[in-house]
């Protein structure tokens, strides 16, 4: 039952995998400072550059995490704290427990407020708490987790606790932890080992503290990036005897699991929540549809009506971008390599062109192909004055930015994330986020998307924990469609949407269970 | 889980089994590499069996439970995965108006004489349907269970207007006819009509550039050289283009009709004239039907090595009568849901002894049959029947699958206020994110101006709903057969039916309230609008490529199983249609292809990609 096809990066070599990691690096290097306030955004381009100066190994810690746009926001607590490593500190929470390690337990109150705000926007998890209150579907579950530690994750963790689980948690990224939130979790009795700005050594120490505990052995793993799983494999293989399942969130982690599975070394069931329908649609189609306009507006204040835009690639991301731009009255061209997607673009009313056919006339170039060097120096040379170039797709490979680092071109940073590249004849090209992902660099991720991710994780844990013996073998599974549907249904109330129920008669006619699943597995949505 | 999925498959028109896919690029093209994977990755959710992969591949679609009028009507219909077979032709509407005039097209209500040509034909179509119901079940069956592809049904609409009047009553079987080259290896109504038919074919060729491009591209190599194809499809100008394309690619063809009414006599004559052994005429009897098929298959010194089938009758006949023939047959290409279903059953029973290709479920074809086609036809159908304006009208669309998505997009673009009802939370969430209010039907039923059903379900609009609608509300069905609106419940004494024009009934309540019911609850897009040739072109191209693929596949690539069209072929079908849009596909550079780990010529996406 090896499933090469099922892998998120089918038939793709190591090179691409590395590229993935770089991409994740891109995303999460921001994590440290990404903030809600536009002012703070200005800092992060610079931070970015510092990050890249880190020694490679540490640098890597900040990558290969979930591509889920999730968990980005935070407020920088950089300023305040002292320089003593949290590992050296003796801290106890108000109940006298010191089974945690965070920057400063005294910040708990601030963190609690953040969590409460996040709860407002994550009604799906809250309703999950309510619905499952009686049964406690996770009673007896001992979950060890390794994810970004943000207010949203905190809501997830507290939901898991409310459903009966015991949790121990560490951060999957050395920069992304919100210290206040970690403190609030510690105060509430969750064993959290994480702070912002861990060293490589700290990172593994935290994971180890989660796993290696006298008298407590994990029976579920929630991982984001695969490091926790890796550590347990390496150090405590015996732990797997008791483990009922792994839930993995990120592309990288899922990729690692498939490799393990292929090598026959996976000894517990694992659930790939990255590829669930609901999550995929929200991470790509809907999220990009929202953020493309936001990102462009924030950086350039451009008006879209009547502007000519070329979007490279018509996958989920491209479809989202095009829909948004079309709605604002932009004239949209598409480039595609896949004839099926190209035909979809045609039927959706977009002109399918080759890039060099329109490059002289367009006002905005947006890449979302997942490919590299889609916009080359040659294209950039031919663009008209003040053409805007940005990337929504993949890492920083799509626009050949390095080719712009030549002596005859002048770079001028006009504001954070916005560079003017000036040709000798005075022509300017507006390059956004230096070719990195626009939606991560220059816009925010709606909590709704984070809520989808967190709910999917919670349901995957419940499913794996409660599955009868033998339902899941030692393999990597997709979230069952029924669960996927449940995630969706938990989010419908935010739209005040009223789902119709099948009558018995109708269910019989269709041969469906009234409660789903409603579609066969291969259904394309 | 298995149970649900099973019939979900039936209802959703696609048998589960076809997850089996195959990518020709894979070293060992064994069946469902991907299949197993997908299956494996989707374990049963609630209490199903743990071994997801295996059952996924085995699960056959189960017929809709025999409760519907469908089953009652004919055994054959019962065998059919309901949504599918009925999608296009829905002979199940229970009330049958009595008409005389046999099977010939009788010109219908005079009311529409001023209507444009197409409309007129459409109208005939509906009446024709009603006549079908009067036929003995067995013959009645002949007219159904064919391809759901909008493709083949279209035949009716473009159906020969010339024929009806002219011809004599002698059965073509009794006639001695020769074409201009002296051959009499055919049987059509009247070979003299060839010229008219040729004109029809030439018109169709204009609109099917993909097949013409295929002819050109493959001219040198003749990928079907040596292929002996026996076919059984609707015989229309579009199929004729397909057939002649196959001929141009080197194949020998013998052809019969898969439907006793759908044959265009002129086209058949034109094909016979140009040397194709065609055995088909409009208005065959059950006996004629099988006789034609037999004449195609049973020839001295000619044995087919490929089958192109639409509905599975040809395959069935060969199995029954000439099982030995399968020794030489390289593969079956099947177009319709019904036929595919039969093939899966054969395969499950271990009786399938050649590879078969399910072209019904290719991405391109599915998108065009459902999403795009319905997006176009909903407005057309409503306009033609009611001449209404859409701007600001409140519309409720029941169901947000491919058909529902198409309808909503079109209506939204016209400025309508669209509500959606859904049972599947994922589709419901999609509707929300696309900006539609998700409601239950009874929450909005009092206020809406139009109700459109596209659920594939039954009794979605009940008498209770109908009672509560406001005056002048339009009710129509885009989904499935005639089950979605409970029309039977309107046949009560207190309600008055008034036919205001063809396909449009006013149902009048005692208090004077009128409901406008379109096509008596049958499929609006079939009854009241036309199918674009572009869609037919997609289907025909897919068939041609499937034949080429099966015929040229190296020994062992395909086993005795039912396969989906390889993604690469699917992509090729799409690419052949891009010139119509003057669309310019970008090519990967070597470097980019390497970076992505893709072949420059595709396939470009993994099998599970959702598009």
Rounded Cα gap, residues A116 and A491, in angstroms: 18
A335 contact residues in B (CB cutoff 8 A): 586
Which helix or strand (DSSP H or E) is residue A345 part of? helix A339-347
Q: What is the DSSP string of A41-92?
A: HHHHHHHHHHHHHS-HHHHHHTSS---SS-S------TTT--SS-GGG----
- How many C-beta atoms surround the C-beta of residue B40 within 10 A? 22
Distance (Å) from the alpha carbon of B455 to chain A's nearest alpha carbon: 10
Distance (Å) from the alpha carbon of B87 to chain A's nearest alpha carbon: 14
DSSP β-bridge partners for residue B498: B506
Q: How much is the mean pLDDT over chain B?
A: 77
Interface probe for B, chosen from A316, A509, A513 (most Cβ of B below 10 Å), is A509
B431 contact residues in A (CB cutoff 8 A): 497
B9 contact residues in A (CB cutoff 8 A): 520
Share of chain A above pLDDT 70, in %: 84
Cα A36 off chain centre by: 17
- How many C-beta atoms surround the C-beta of residue B139 within 10 A? 18
Shortest CB distance from B611 goes to which of A280, A340, A477? Answer: A340
Average pLDDT on A471-497 reads: 93
How confident is the model at residue A252, as a pLDDT? 85
- Mark yes or no for CB contact B45/A480 under 8 Å: yes
Interface probe for B, chosen from A320, A343, A503 (most Cβ of B below 10 Å), is A343
Q: Which residues of A are annotated as a binding site for substrate?
A: 150, 224, 249, 279, 283
How confident is the model at residue B72, as a pLDDT? 35
Share of chain B above pLDDT 90, in %: 60
Distance (Å) from the alpha carbon of A319 to chain B's nearest alpha carbon: 10
Distance (Å) from the alpha carbon of A209 to chain B's nearest alpha carbon: 33
The length of chain B, given as a count of residues: 611
pLDDT digits (tens, 9 = 90+) for A417-444: 999 999 999 999 999 999 999 987 888 7
pLDDT digits (tens, 9 = 90+) for A366-402: 999 989 999 999 999 999 999 999 999 877 899 999 9
- How many C-beta atoms surround the C-beta of residue A233 within 10 A? 16
Q: Where are the alpha helices (DSSP H) in B387-532?
A: 402-413, 425-433, 441-444, 463-468, 524-528
Q: What is residue A314's DSSP assignment?
A: -
How confident is the model at residue A10, as a pLDDT? 36
Residue pairs between chains A and B whose CB atoms are closer than 8 Å: 286
- Mark yes or no for CB contact A481/B439 under 8 Å: no
Q: Which residues of A are annotated as a binding site?
A: 150, 224, 249, 279, 283, 315-320, 336, 439
Shortest CB distance from B38 goes to which of A354, A484, A522? Answer: A522
Identify which of B121, B190, B192 has the alpha carbon closest to the alpha carbon of residue B155: B121
Distance (Å) from the alpha carbon of A41 to chain B's nearest alpha carbon: 28
CB B140 within 8 A of CB B69: no
Identify which of A254, A259, A225, A228 has the alpha carbon closest to the alpha carbon of residue A243: A228
Assess A343–B contact: CB distance below 8 Å, yes or no: yes
Burial environment of residue A80 by CB neighbours within 10 A (0 to 12, 13 to 18, 19 or more):
exposed
Interface probe for A, chosen from B9, B13, B423 (most Cβ of A below 10 Å), is B423
CB A185 within 8 A of CB A157: yes
How confident is the model at residue B64, as a pLDDT? 37
Q: What is the ipTM of this complex?
A: 0.80
pLDDT at A47 over 60: no
Distance (Å) from the alpha carbon of B605 to chain A's nearest alpha carbon: 8
Q: Where residue B168 falls among pLDDT bands split at 50, 70, 90?
A: low
Assess B9–A contact: CB distance below 8 Å, yes or no: yes
Q: How much is the mean pLDDT over chain A?
A: 85
Q: Where residue B312 falls among pLDDT bands split at 50, 70, 90?
A: very high
Structure tokens at B11: 């209802």
Shortest CB distance from A492 goes to which of B38, B40, B432? Answer: B432
- Mark yes or no for CB contact A511/B6 under 8 Å: yes
Identify which of A176, A143, A146, A147 has the alpha carbon closest to the alpha carbon of residue A162: A143
Greatest Cα-to-Cα distance within chain A, rounded to the nearest angstrom: 74
Whole-number Cα distances in Å, B136 to A171, B96, B218, B603: 73, 13, 45, 48
Q: What is residue B520's DSSP assignment?
A: G
DSSP β-bridge partners for residue B232: B256, B309
Cα B363 off chain centre by: 14
Dihedral sign for Cα B312, B313, B316, B322, please: negative
- Mark yes or no for CB contact A11/B586 under 8 Å: no
pTM above 0.80? Answer: no
- Mark yes or no for CB contact B4/A522 under 8 Å: no
pLDDT at B71 over 70: no
Name the region of B91 (left: φ>0; alpha: ψ -120 to 50; beta: rest).
alpha
Whole-number Cα distances in Å, B331 to A87, A155, B54: 70, 57, 25
Q: Where residue B167 falls among pLDDT bands split at 50, 70, 90?
A: low
- Mark yes or no for CB contact A6/B40 under 8 Å: yes
Average pLDDT on A61-89 reads: 53
Q: What angle do CA A486, A488, A491 make, to 5 degrees?
A: 110
Rounded Cα gap, residues B273 and B162, in angstroms: 18
Assess B53–A contact: CB distance below 8 Å, yes or no: yes
How confident is the model at residue B67, as a pLDDT? 37
pLDDT digits (tens, 9 = 90+) for B449-465: 999 999 989 999 999 99
Average pLDDT on A295-322 reads: 95
- Mark yes or no for CB contact A3/B37 under 8 Å: yes
pLDDT at A88 over 80: yes
DSSP β-bridge partners for residue A142: A166
Rounded Cα gap, residues B343 and B351, in angstroms: 9
A510 contact residues in B (CB cutoff 8 A): 7-8, 11, 64, 456-457
Q: What is residue B333's DSSP assignment?
A: E
B317: which residues sit within 8 A by CB, 6+ positions away? B290, B293, B294, B297
Distance (Å) from the alpha carbon of A396 to chain B's nearest alpha carbon: 14
Assess A327–B contact: CB distance below 8 Å, yes or no: no
Distance (Å) from the alpha carbon of A5 to chain B's nearest alpha carbon: 5
Q: Please, which residues 380-439 of chain A have a Cβ atom closer than 8 Å to chain B?
A: 397
- Give the residue with greater pLDDT, A280 vs B271: B271
Shortest CB distance from A488 goes to which of B43, B425, B583? Answer: B425
A15 contact residues in B (CB cutoff 8 A): 595
For B493, half-sphere exposure in the C-beta direction (CA atoms, 13 angstrom radius) is 0
Whole-number Cα distances in Å, A222 to A24, A120, A211, A255: 19, 24, 12, 15
How confident is the model at residue B490, as a pLDDT? 96
Q: What are phi and psi of B281, to 5 degrees?
A: -150, 165
pLDDT digits (tens, 9 = 90+) for A351-365: 999 999 999 999 999
Q: What is residue A332's DSSP assignment?
A: E
B364 contact residues in A (CB cutoff 8 A): 340, 343
Angle between helices A179-187 and A108-121 (to 10 degrees): 100
- Mark yes or no for CB contact A337/B610 under 8 Å: no
Shortest CB distance from B45 goes to which of A345, A497, A517? Answer: A517
Which helix or strand (DSSP H or E) is residue A200 part of? helix A200-211
Which helix or strand (DSSP H or E) is residue B229 part of? strand B228-233
Interface probe for A, chosen from B42, B408, B439, B482 (most Cβ of A below 10 Å), is B42
Distance (Å) from the alpha carbon of B22 to chain A's nearest alpha carbon: 11
Assess B66–A contact: CB distance below 8 Å, yes or no: no
Rounded Cα gap, residues B211 and B255, in angstroms: 18
Shortest CB distance from A509 goes to which of B12, B68, B440? Answer: B68
Assess B488–A contact: CB distance below 8 Å, yes or no: no
Assess A350–B contact: CB distance below 8 Å, yes or no: no
Shortest CB distance from B426 goes to which of A485, A500, A520? Answer: A485
């Amino acid at each position: 039952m090896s499933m090469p096809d099922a892998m998120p990066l089918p038939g793709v070599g190591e090179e691409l995998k590395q590229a993935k990691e770089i991409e994740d690096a891109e995303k999460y290097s921001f994590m440290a400072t990404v903030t809600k306030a536009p002012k703070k955004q200005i800092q992060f381009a610079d931070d970015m550059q510092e990050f890249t100066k880190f020694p490679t190994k540490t640098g890597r810690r900040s990558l290969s995490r979930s591509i889920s746009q999730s968990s980005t926001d935070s407020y920088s607590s950089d300023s305040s704290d002292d320089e003593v490593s949290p590992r050296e500190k003796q801290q106890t929470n108000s109940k006298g427990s010191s089974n945690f390690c965070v920057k400063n337990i005294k910040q708990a109150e601030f963190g609690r407020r953040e969590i409460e705000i996040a709860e407002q926007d994550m009604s799906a998890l809250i309703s999950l708490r309510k619905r499952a209150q009686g049964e406690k579907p996770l009673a007896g579950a001992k979950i060890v987790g390794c994810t970004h530690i943000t207010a949203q994750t905190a809501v997830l963790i507290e939901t898991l606790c409310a459903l009966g689980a015991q949790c121990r948690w560490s951060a999957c990224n050395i920069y992304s932890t919100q210290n206040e939130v970690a403190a609030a979790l510690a105060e509430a009795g969750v064993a959290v080992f994480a702070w912002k700005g861990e060293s490589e050594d700290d990172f593994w120490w935290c994971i180890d503290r989660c796993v290696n505990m006298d008298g407590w052995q994990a029976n579920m793993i929630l991982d984001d990036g695969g490091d926790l799983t890796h550590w347990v494999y390496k150090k405590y293989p015996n732990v797997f005897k008791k483990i009922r399942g792994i839930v993995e969130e990120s592309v990288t982690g899922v990729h690692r699991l498939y490799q393990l599975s292929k090598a026959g070394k996976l000894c517990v069931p694992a659930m790939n929540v990255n590829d669930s329908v609901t999550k995929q649609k929200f991470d790509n189609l809907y999220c990009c549809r929202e953020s493309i306009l936001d990102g462009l507006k924030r950086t350039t204040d451009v008006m879209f009506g009547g502007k000519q835009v070329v979007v490279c690639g018509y996958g989920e991301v491209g479809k989202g971008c095009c829909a948004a731009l079309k709605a604002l009255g932009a004239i949209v061209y598409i480039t595609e390599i896949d004839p099926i997607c190209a035909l979809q673009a045609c039927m959706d009313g977009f002109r399918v062109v080759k890039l060099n056919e329109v490059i002289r006339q367009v006002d905005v170039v947006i890449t979302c192909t997942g490919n590299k060097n889609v916009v080359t120096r040659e294209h950039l040379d031919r663009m008209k004055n003040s053409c805007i170039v940005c990337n929504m797709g993949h890492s920083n490979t799509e626009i050949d930015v390095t080719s712009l680092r030549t002596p005859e071109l002048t770079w001028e940073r006009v504001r954070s994330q916005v560079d003017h590249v000036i040709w000798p004849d005075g022509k300017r090209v507006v390059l956004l986020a230096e070719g990195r992902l626009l939606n991560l660099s220059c816009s925010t991720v709606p909590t709704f998307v984070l809520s989808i991710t967190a709910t999917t994780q919670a349901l995957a844990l419940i499913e794996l924990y409660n599955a009868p013996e033998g339902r899941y073998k030692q393999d990597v599974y997709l979230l069952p469609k029924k669960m996927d549907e449940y995630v969706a249904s938990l989010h419908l109330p935010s739209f005040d949407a009223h789902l119709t129920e099948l009558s018995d008669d109708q269910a019989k006619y269709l041969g469906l269970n009234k409660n789903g699943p409603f579609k066969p597995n291969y259904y394309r949505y």
